[in-house]
Structures are given as structure tokens and as C-alpha cells.
Amino acid sequence: MSYDDDRAARLPLAEGRAELLEEIMAQPQTESRRAHARWIAPLAAAAAVAAVVGGIALVSRGGSPTRGSDPAAGGGAVCWDGSTGATCPAPTGRAALPWVFPRLAGHLDRCVDALAAESDDPPMPFGTPAPGGPSGGVPTADRPAAYRCDLGMLGLDASAAAPRVWVYALGSDGGSATPGESHLSALVQRFGTGTFSIGGETAGPLVMDEVGLIHPSHLFIAKYADYPFAVMGYADDKAEAEQIIAALGARKPSEMTAPGVPDPSLPDFPSQALRSPEPTPS
């Protein structure tokens, strides 16, 4: 466009400009009282960047995945990794995403390595890239596995007003905690102002931060206390955040290691996770 600032300054907008100023100053000054606003703002920026990755339209499914079922009753109950033991190994890594969040089944291709494609656009909780490292940022050996699934355009009924949701699988696929997971865990533990629940079961700490940019008014981060998975999105309050988490079909902590019976309505669950190739860093 040919607008330069001087030209913008000459536009006949005096009335609108003055009126806007008064309108803004008539608004309550809801300055965040929490110190974590300093890191949550760049996190919101990172989230905005994540949105560029593209939306994902999860097909509305009539049924809900069966999970935590009695293996005997189900006959053929399996774990997220394809094993069939009485107790499943703790889910970890990208392959377990559909296990933890069954609504992701069939859409793992939209879960990208959050640090691979653009090293300078990491989710901020995982740390700031160091210059000079591979890919211009974090040294490979120190990069946490952080698969970020952009669930924009999710179409979740429960979150119609909060269309942007990101799901994170933290930690390496080998199951060990990484600096990324440890870092996020520390942040959530430090700044979490409460806990979130799934099906009435407390699952982990919850961070709610006023964003001010969009509606709903808060950016939330909910991380399982005992498992390397997290959900980030926008919600007005804790109840709405929990609705969003529930709409993802998030597994209760007590069901994380319980074998489940694949739901016929989710033909690729959970074996889809086994077939899905690992994302290729670009």
C-alpha cells in the first residue's frame, strides 16, 4: 500500500481518533496481576505462529472412543503401543497422542515437531533457541520432542467460541523426560493457579492467563501432572477450558495405562498411531 505514516497522520480522523482514546480509557484496566504474563505473551505469539501451520478439521464422529474398558469384556483390548498386557506402558511421544486425545485419531499428520520446521518459532515454554546451533537454534541433542497439533477449526461444539486448540506431546518417544517437558512442567507448576479435571478426576495444573487480544479472554495451558501431554487454547474460564479438554476426549489419568478396546467408529485407533510415520523435520 502507499500509506506511509505521514500520510496516515494527515487522514481526517481527528474525531474518530479522539473518540477511540476515550472509549479505550473507559475500559477497565485489567492489568494482569500475575508475573507469568511476561512469558505468556510470547507464548501467545508462538501460538499465533502455530496457527499458520494450518487448521485441522476433525471429522465429527458419532461415537466416542472406548477406553479403559475391561479387557476381558472387550476381547482384544490393546494398548497405545499395540501391546496387549494387562497394564499398558505409560503413554509417551507422538505415537500416543490418539491414545491420550482420541479425537486426534486419523489426524496425526497435523502434529508437527514444534521445533523442527522453524527453529526460531518454538513454543516459548520450551526455551529460547540458542544462536549458532543446528537449524539456527537449539542444539539437536537438547531439543525436546514437542509435537504440536494445531486443532484450529476443530469444530468442537463445546468450544465453538474457542476455535484454536493446540495439543502437545512432550518428551522423547523413548519415554524419558526432556528439558522441554521439565521446563514446561516447572512453569505450569509455578504459575498454575489451579487444577483441571477430566471426568471429575483431577488431572494436573492449569494456567489461565488474560490475553486481551481475542475472545475468549484467557489463554490456558493444562498439563497432565504425571504424563507428558498438554493442551493449550483459549477459554473464558476454567469450566470452558475443561470443556475443550473433554471435547478432545482426553483420557483420565487413571485410564492412561488401562488397555482399551478399539472403537469401530475409529478404525485407525489405536493402530493408526503405530502406522503413522514420524514427521520429517523440514
Partner 1 sequence: MRVGRDIDQDVGRGIDEAVDAGPDARFRQLYADHFDAVLGFALRRTERPEDAADVVAETFLVAWRRLGHVPADGTRPWLYGVARRVLANHRRGDGRRAALGRRLRDQLAGLSPDVAESVARRTDVEVAMSRLSGRDEEVLQLHLWEGLEPREIADVLGISAAIVRPRLSRAKARLRDLLGNDPGTAGHDYSRNPRTIGEEGPS
Here the cell at position 41 is 505473551
Closest CB to partner 1 among residues 41, 225: 41
CB of 170 to partner 1, least distance (A): 21
**R_g over Cα of the chain:** 21
Which grid coordinates are listed for 233?
A: 487454547
Q: Which is nearer to partner 1, 24 or 141 (CB)?
A: 24
- CB-wise, 9 or 72, nearer to partner 1? 9
**What is the smallest separation between the CB atom of 100 and partner 1, expressed in angstroms?**
25
Pick the closer one to partner 1 by CB: 39 or 81: 39
**Locus of grid cell 482426553:** 250
What residues make contact with partner 1 under the rule CB under 8 A? 1-9, 11-13, 15-17, 19-21, 23-25, 27, 29-32, 37-38, 41-42, 44-46, 48, 51-52, 118-121, 124, 128-129, 131-132, 136-137, 152, 163-164, 210, 212-215
The label of the residue with cell 505468556 reads 40
Closest distance to partner 1 from the beta carbon of 69 (Å): 38
Q: Which three cell numbers stand for residue 109?
A: 499428520
What is the closest distance, in whole angstroms, from the C-beta atom of residue 194 to partner 1 in the complex? 22
Smaller CB separation from partner 1, 91 or 129:
129
Contact 210, 147 (CB under 8 A): no
Q: How far is the CB of 139 from partner 1 (least distance, A)?
A: 14
3-class secondary-structure state, position 52 = helix
Give the phi and the psi of residue 42 in degrees, each rounded to 5. Answer: -60, -30
Helices (H), 142-237: 179-191
Q: Which is nearer to partner 1, 150 or 242 (CB)?
A: 150
Q: How far is the CB of 128 from partner 1 (least distance, A)?
A: 7
Angle at 187 between CA 147 and CA 161, to 5 degrees: 65
Q: Mapping DSSP to helix (H, G, I), strand (E, B) and coil, where does residue 196 land? A: strand
